[in-house]
Structure 1
Amino acid sequence: MAKTAKASESTATTALPIPTPWPGANARLLGLGVGLPVAPLTRLAQFSAAEFERFTLEWASEYLSKQTQVFEVQARGGSGDKGRDIIVWLDAANIVPRRWQLFQCKHYDAKLGLSKAGIEIAKVLYYTHIGDYTPPESYYFVTHKGVTSPFQDLLDAPESLKSEMIDTWDSYSKAITSKETIALSPELKAHILNFDFSNFSAKQPHDLIAEHAQTKYHLTVFGAPLLNRPPPPPPPSTVAAIEAKYIGQLYRVIGNDIGTVVGSSEDFKHSSYHARMFERSRLTFYSAEGLKEVARDQMADQAYFDTLLDEFSDGLYYQYTEPNGTPIARLKATVSAAQSIQLGSHPLEPHVTSKDREGMCHQMANEERLDWCNP
């Protein structure tokens, strides 16, 4: 009997565990049939040479050039660049000595190691020695896959990197220029010994992505994440300057409906219908303002909001330009139609609420794209 129980025990099975949600799954992308999102670091590592060149151009033009200490950014990569790919000038051309930074962008099939990076370092050491240009204040290796651990160790220990460059100079002497072999002369060695190797560092891929995320190109390259949209703030107790134009139109609409000139909300506080409509209009206007902040602050480009406003402006044209009817009827028809307008694959579409849709009508009035009283 004991034997039977033991046999039964050994053949017992347990139910399969329920799979947990896939890490990083983006419900919006799955809903579009796109599948799991590709992590930015993974996407960066998969870039071809042409894609990485475009990526670094976007990064340099939209991020580097906008840093407060930067005077000018130049792309120098190509024949005769003397080891300078992207130059960031910190001073105007008439300043002597003119401070600058160097960003060397390299695309290889594997992580960047000293065998290839050493050639670029040797170029800087040689050309600063012969006086073609001054030493940069900082030198960054910019790669799509990062650098090897041994090379990072050398970057973290400048004196060790200096010794390694001197010991292995013959490995780079023929690659500095195609015109001649650059031997390690006593003068060049003395220059290297005096050179500040702490200027050399690697721009880590995650830092590169974080900086590229501050450009208007980022969403095109890496896609839109699930944005964390905070609830819009309530309208201020008094009308703000940014509301002036659409509020003025609301006053005229309400004035037309009640048969009197309206100059403030006090003029129609006796009508609960118009008072509620006025407060709701302000509420929805600020809801749409929150959408504008998402585009500007989280998507790094207010143009996403502007193109969304274009969609509403085009899609609702026949409602707000209808010549028949009263201004308030025109407003209500436009607001009602806004609830069903198709936004297609616009990047902001997943974040648009019903209040936003109504508020976009008042945003159009605020930008004078429409006039409820003069269609």
Structure 2
Amino acid sequence: MAGALEPGRDGARPVFENIPEPESPAVVVTAPSMQGAPIPTPQQYLAYIFNADDWENFTVEWVRALGSHEGRPYLRVKRMGGAGDRGADVAAVLTPQGTGGEWHCYQCKHYSKPFTQADAWPEMVKIFTAKILGEYELPTRYVFVAPRIGQTLDRLLIHPEKLKREFFESWDKDGSKLGADLDSAVRDAVGALARRTDFSMFQAPDMDNILELHATTPHHLRRFPQPLKPRPAADPAPSEQAPSEAVYVRKLLNVYNEKHGLGLETLQQARAHEKVKPHLARQREAFFHAEALRLFARDSVPDATYEAIEEDLYEAVIEIEDDDHDDGYDRLKAVLTAAAAHKPNSYNILAPVVKVIDLKGMCHHLANNDRLTWCKEEPSP
């Protein structure tokens, strides 16, 4: 900032720079480091492999999880970034007023050395200056996010009064560079604001705690390739039809009615009919196995990872589904046979935990979404 800047005419207001949100997560793949070489720890990724953009995107992912974890989800988490961020790399807002209301500031510092008070003081000056100039309201929480916090600064951050005292020792000394580029009136106002501020707003969480919470998000495996956690067993199919089963069950009933000349209208009627009961039970078991895989993937990896498995299967069976068959039963049987023989792409981290029954069940999920259909008008012989 060179000299004084004009405060906003409307007072403190949200400032969201035109910085794109982090890109949608890509498919999680089996990383080369998992093929036999030692796997870097998350701490090593953070310190030595991440760049500044990775660090800010990682922080956004963690902050979103933090809001939900603390029981007061943020209305929006915005990566500000860039030269015009006015001391806020990531803004997490708690009211519709954005940074003009209650909000938390997360300042991302990805240095090769520990982050010290000499690094912190200028950042603190920036946020006080932004308030004086009407760019933001002062955040109620200001968090330094760095791979390593220097021991002296770490001790100061848990002793807010001492932190404040040492900040002003640097601010008040002759020839201080803190705020030296500000207009004298603005610098005086910044100093006055800082003196009446409770410095407990400044924090620096432990990196192990950050990683522990980030590990609960689907982004963790994409950021830090590690073996998947064990997949839990699938729940059995419920005795009553679940709302999510409506479409694929109706398509199965059409198959049974066409093949056996039945008039089945409900799942319960089909479950009571000896000709179709075993087949129906297997299809429902497969559907819920695939659903269990989907939920496991949802909680473990970004959505695109599971979607890639399902899309690959669709491409493997769609030509068979579209081919001519004697009836819907033969079409269904041919598709399920092809699905059972299909091998998911080995690069996908989910591939090792996908079972044959999951692949059959995914066919019913695709039928549920009207991408596959069994009973069609067959051509005349």
Q: TM (normalized to structure 2)?
A: 0.78
- Give unmatched runs, 5+ long, in structure 1: 1-27
Pick one of 139, 144, 161 that aligns with 2:142. Answer: 139
Q: Label 1:80 to 1:177 Cα distance change in 2 as closer, same or farther (>3 A).
A: farther
Q: Please state how far the C-alpha of 1:101 moved relative to its aligned partner.
A: 1.6
Task: Tell whether 2:62 aligns with 1:52.
Answer: no
Whether the 8 Å contact between 2:56 and 2:79 is mirrored in structure 1 is no
Aligned with residue 116 of structure 1, among 113, 116, 119: 119
> 1:154 deviation in Å?
0.5
Taking CA–CA contacts closer than 8 Å with sequence separation of 6 or more, which of the two structures ends up with the larger relative contact order?
2
Deviations 1:312-359 (A, max 9, x none): 111012222221222212211211111221211223211111211221
Q: CA deviation at 1:372?
A: 0.7
Contact 1:330 1:372 in 2 (8 A): yes
The aligned counterpart of 2:352 is 350
Equivalent residue number for residue 340 of structure 1 = 341
Q: Per the alignment, in what secondary structure is the counterpart of residue 168 of structure 1?
A: helix
Q: Distance in 2 between matches of 1:43 and 1:100?
A: 29
Q: Give 1:168's match in structure 2, choosing from 164, 167, 170.
A: 170
2: CA distance between counterparts of 1:266 and 1:227? 37
Alignment correspondent of 2:289: 287
Q: Name the SS of the counterpart of 1:195 in structure 2.
A: coil
Residues 127, 138 of structure 2: 8 Å contact kept: yes
How do 1:183-222 residues align onto structure 2 when only pairs under 5 Å count? 191-213=193-215, 217-222=219-224
Alpha-carbon separation, structure 2, partners of 1:109 and 1:94? 32
Cα distance in 1 for residues equivalent to 2:97 and 2:273: 67
SS in structure 1 opposite 2:223?
A: helix
3-state secondary structure, aligned to 2:341: coil
Summarize the Cα distance change of 1:190–1:302 in structure 2 as closer, same or farther, 3 Å threshold: closer
Q: SS state of the match for residue 339, structure 1?
A: helix
Q: CA deviation at 1:81?
A: 3.9
Does residue 256 of the first structure (1) align with residue 258 of the second (2)?
Answer: yes
The one-character-per-residue Cα deviations of 1:110-147 (angstroms, maximum 9, x if unpaired) are 1111111122123334554676644320100011x120
Please tell me the residue identity of whatever aligns with 2:42: P
CA apart distance, 1:180: 6.0
For normalisation by structure 1, the TM-score amounts to 0.79
Deviation at 1:361, TM superposition (A): 1.5
Cα distance in 2, alignment partners of residues 163 and 126 from structure 1: 19
Residues 138-169 of structure 1, C-alpha deviations (whole Å, 9 max, x = no match): 100011x1201221110001111111112222
Query: Structure 2: which amino acid aligns with 1:369?
Result: R
1:24-35 → structure 2 map (5 Å cutoff): 33-35=35-37
Query: Residue 123 of structure 2 aligns to a residue in which SS?
Result: helix
Change (3 A) 1:239 1:54: closer
1:84 aligned to which of 70, 84, 88? 88
- Which piece of structure 1 moves more, 236-245 or 317-326? 317-326
- Decide whether the 8 Å contact of 2:143 with 2:204 is kept in 1: yes
* Structure exhibiting the larger radius of gyration computed from Cα positions: 1
User: Counterparts of 1:75 and 1:304 in 2: how far apart (Å)?
Assistant: 24
**How many angstroms does 1:91 deviate by?**
2.5
Q: Give the equivalent residue in structure 2 for 1:4.
A: none
Equivalent AA in structure 1 for residue 332 of structure 2: L
- Alignment CA distance shift 1:247-1:188 (3 Å): closer
Question: How far 1:219 sits from its partner (Å)?
Answer: 3.0
Structure 2 vs 1, CA of residues 212 and 182 (structure 1 numbering), >3 Å: closer, same or farther?
A: farther
**Corresponding residue of 1:22:** none
Sequence identity percentage: 29
Question: What do the CA deviations read for 1:268-297 (whole angstroms, capped 9, x no partner)?
Answer: 567645211111111111000000101222
Shift, 1:38, TM fit: 1.9
Name the CA distance, whole Å, in 1 between partners of 2:288 and 2:209: 34
Going from structure 1 to structure 2, the CA distance change for 1:177 and 1:320 (only over 3 Å counts) comes to: farther
Q: Structure 2: 5+ residue runs without aligned partners?
A: 1-29
Aligned to 1:307: 308
CA RMSD after TM alignment: 3.3
Contact 1:295 1:303 survives alignment (8 Å): no
Out of 240, 243, 246, the residue aligned to residue 245 of structure 2 is 243
Task: Quote the offset at 1:191 in angstroms.
Answer: 4.3
Deviation at 1:374, TM superposition (A): 1.3
2:106·2:142 contact (CA, 8 Å) conserved in 1? Answer: yes
| 1:93 equivalent in alignment to 2:85 | no
Separation in 1 of the partners of 2:193 and 2:155? Answer: 23
> For 1:152, which of 139, 151, 154 is the aligned residue?
154
Please tell me whether the aligned partners of residues 287 and 358 of structure 2 are also in contact (alpha carbons under 8 angstroms).
yes
Distance 1:105 1:151 in 2: 16
